[in-house]
Amino acid sequence: MRHIALSLAKTAGWISRALGRGGGTTLPGMILLKLRPHTLDEMAQELEDGVIVISATNGKTTTARMVSHAAHESGITFVSNTSGANLPSGIATALLRRNPDEKLGVFEIDEAALPELVPKLQPSVLVLMNLFRDQLDRYGELESTIQKWEEMIKSLPDTTKLVINADDPALAFLGSLHQNVEFFGIELTHYGSKTIPHAADSLHCQKCDGPLSFQQVTIGHLGHWKCQNCESQRPNPSFAGDKINLQGLNGSKFIAVSQTGPLEIQIPLAGIHNVYNALAAYATCSTIGISATNIQKGLSTLSAAFGRNEIINFEGIELLIMLAKNPAGANQNLRTLLLEEEKIHLAILLNDRTADGKDVSWIWDVDYEMIVDRLASLTISGDRAYDLALRFHYSGFPTASMHITPSPQGLLEHLKSSIKTGEKAIILPTYTAMLDLRSELNKMGATHSFWEEQ
Amino acid sequence: MNIYGDRGNIAVLQKRLEWRGYSASITSVGIGDEFNPNNFDFCYLGGGQDRDQMLVAHDLGKKSAAFLSAAKDGVVFLWVCGGIQLAGVGYTNSDGNRISGVGILDLDTSAGSSRLIGDLVLDAELEGDNCRVVGYENHAGRTFLGPDATPLGSVVKGHGNNDTDKTEGAIQRRVVGTYMHGPLLPKNPWLADKLLSWAIEHKTGETPTLSSLDNSLENLAQQVAISRAGMKR
């Protein structure tokens, strides 16, 4: 019975790709799970080197890719769902496709799906990086996600190692509920700020409900926090990021300090959010015994994941695509852009399909005002382009200077005709807009299909 | 409480005043802050996560009398999502516990077993003037209006106050409560201007004639949102 179920499911994937309907990264899994619901538990158990699970609002795909790349440097064969299909069907599809010699599982998992999948996958390492307000219409509220994660952690066996971001107050609290835990975090840095941004959530102590004070914030509510009412405070990270040097849009450098001493890490990805991702990856790889040299090498030779700081050459123009799907991520992208000295050609695509979140009100919590004076041009696109145009209209940006073109083809045509060869354009799409854009670029021969990568 | 892009509503009100040559002073008020609603022309409250709303309800309850007198005096209120619940008589949560509201709107809310989520399109009516209004809802509460409150509009698409009587929102005098966010005002300039003229009237004692602004972007955005909601124009 199992053999038949697996065959049917595998065929579905092949058919899906043959019909050109996307990468077949979730359909086989969906079918398999319908035919044989315990399949996930069984397939995961076959992985002799265990399963690493990574979850967060932002950074899952990049961190999973970093871990996979370091594992690869180390000669470890692994199975992963690197194409970003991070719901149960995506995990099942990845496991279905696994080669028998792949012994380690590295999976990024959606925050809402995590509590359901953890008992099935029984990870040896569970990495929790951040929880920001995201896709409210899917998750209801941040607090309920935290509660569900709390129940999940209370049922974890002691053998599961938790790798947790000390800078996230809610996650640090969850880490305190489990014996087997490592913390990572960023030390005091001049890139941090003393003021909490408008879009920040999670500003009360998970233990006593008291107000939190911050010595430093880096992104949203992440930083050096302390409860004003009880003794809760940021735990000392065993993997700390220090002496950070953000090199514009080209990359980042920092020292990772751990029990084994300091290690210089250079990554080709921009922005302090990628320093967090690299720290999480470093902590995870150390936990499973990958050597410092291989971690360093893996991180420095990494290419950007699909749509996460991805650079595509299009008709002589360099397109830098940075996924932006919630206020914390979007603000972080904008702050990263501010590291550039030249004026920026910016294109933003806003969709409201299920995977993007149908409620687009989040764009009003993004501080677009910070880049309004730094723009060489602004192109607005996507199914909800006019909502975005309104957002900029009410920020005082002149309507006459906006170029509005809802379709991705229109966007690319406009960039082609308005930007000089050799120049750079930054594109901030939501998730499905990124997929549409990628598909258009693929048709024009500028890049390969996303399921063909690595 | 800062969860659904409320900043957008404030930005729209402020800019639409400025573009007409008015100036606005905006005071942000937090839990425990001293303030008297009677000293303002417009009072805005957005929604929040459940636990934040509990804390706010407790704090606002202490000022109930001041809110009632401000409402009577024609101060404009726009209380959205959790705000419409707090404006009412009270809220009964899923455990059966009761939280008192401020009482500026004749309505009552109880927690439902599911959340009502999705695009929301209304035929709204204010002082005999009507217009289509579009937004988005996400609430577990089921709100029922009493005899003294009129709905903001009738639901053309979506759930509305309680998913049974096709009403959305509530108005009493110049107090407006609604579950619509999006945020509400950017795509609904008619409503924004209506509220602004009420606020100016409270300030000056006279009904203003607001100069018309170019709403083409707003109207386009509204049209797109209505058709995304699955409706033909």
- Out of A133, A137, A387, closest to residue B117 by CB: A137
Q: Report the run of H or E that residue B77 belongs to, with start and end.
A: strand B76-80
Mean pLDDT, residues B54-66: 83
User: How many residue pairs bridge chain A and chain B with CB atoms within 8 Å of each other?
Assistant: 82
Please give the pLDDT value at position A135: 52
CA dihedral over A216, A217, A223, A226, signed as positive or negative: positive
Please give the pLDDT value at position A339: 87
Q: Are residues A136 and A252 in the same domain?
A: yes
Q: Is the pLDDT of residue A136 over 60?
A: no
Q: What is the CATH number of the domain that holds A361?
A: 3.90.190.20
Q: pLDDT tens for residues A29-55? A: 888 788 777 888 888 889 999 999 999
Whether B104 contacts B175, CB under 8 Å: yes
Q: pLDDT tens for residues A187-202? A: 999 999 887 766 566 5
Lowest mean pLDDT among A17-21, A139-143, B47-51: A17-21
Q: What is the CATH number of the domain that holds A279?
A: 3.40.1190.10
Q: Are residues A387 and A329 in the same domain?
A: yes
- Does residue B62 or residue A406 have the better pLDDT? A406
Q: Which domain holds residue A270?
A: 41-300
Lowest mean pLDDT among A170-179, A205-214, A432-441, B22-31: B22-31
Contacts of B46 in chain A (CB under 8 A): none
> Chain B: residue nearest A360 by CA?
B182
Please give the pLDDT value at position A446: 79
What domain count does chain B have? 1
Q: Are residues A288 and A375 in the same domain?
A: no
Mean pLDDT, residues A141-149: 87
Q: Is the pLDDT of residue A327 over 90?
A: no
Query: At A321, is the pLDDT very low, low, confident or very high (cuts 50, 70, 90)?
Result: very high
Please give the pLDDT value at position A194: 85
Q: pLDDT exceeding 70 applies to what percent of chain B? A: 94
Q: Are residues A341 and A294 in the same domain?
A: no
Query: At A83, is the pLDDT very low, low, confident or very high (cuts 50, 70, 90)?
Result: low
Q: Which domain holds residue B12?
A: 6-228
Residue B224 lies in a domain: yes
Domain C-terminal end among A300, A316, A343:
A300
Please give the pLDDT value at position A454: 42
Q: Are residues A338 and A204 in the same domain?
A: no
Q: CA B162 to CA B210: how far, in whole Å?
A: 35
Q: Are residues A1 and A86 in the same domain?
A: no
Please give the pLDDT value at position B228: 87
Please give the pLDDT value at position A22: 55
Distance from CA of A388 to the nearest CA of B (A): 9
Q: Is the pLDDT of residue B20 over 80?
A: yes
- Out of B2, B12, B224, closest to residue A386 by CB: B224
Contacts of B118 in chain A (CB under 8 A): 137, 358
Mean pLDDT, residues A48-66: 94
CA A190 vs CA A187, A218, A263, A267, A351: distances in Å: 10, 10, 20, 19, 35
Distance from CA of A318 to the nearest CA of B (A): 31
Q: Is the pLDDT of residue B233 over 50?
A: no
Mean pLDDT, residues B169-177: 96
Contact call for B12 and A142, based on CB within 8 A: no
Q: pLDDT tens for residues B24-43? A: 888 888 777 788 888 899 99
CA dihedral over B57, B62, B66, B69, signed as positive or negative: positive
